[in-house]
Amino acid sequence: MLLPNASGKGITATMGIMVCTPSIKNIIRGVSYEQSNSFIQMGSESGMQTIDMDLKRLVNNNII
């Protein structure tokens, strides 16, 4: 998702990142999509993040 910068000049991308772990593989196979956000949040040490996590980081750093 692209959002305007806090300065009003330019845009910044915010994104969710999902790494292919065994849990994510099961979700993709159709076990339960509603659990995907929970697994992504728990996988932050693997580099995963939800869009909401990235939005919070961008706001806290006064980027957007």
Q: What is the pTM of this model?
A: 0.74
pLDDT, residue 31, reads 62
Asked whether the beta carbons of 58 and 12 are under 8 A apart, the reply is yes
Give the pLDDT band (50/70/90) at residue 36.
Answer: confident
pLDDT category at 23 given cuts 50, 70, 90 is confident
Give the per-residue pLDDT at 57. Answer: 94
Are 14 and 54 in contact by the 8 Å Cβ rule? The answer is yes
Q: What's the pLDDT at 15?
A: 93
How far from 62 is each of 12, 13, 33, 57, CA to CA, in Å? 11, 14, 32, 9
Q: Assess whether pLDDT exceeds 70 at residue 32.
A: no
Q: Kindly state the tokens that stand for 21.
A: 């772990």
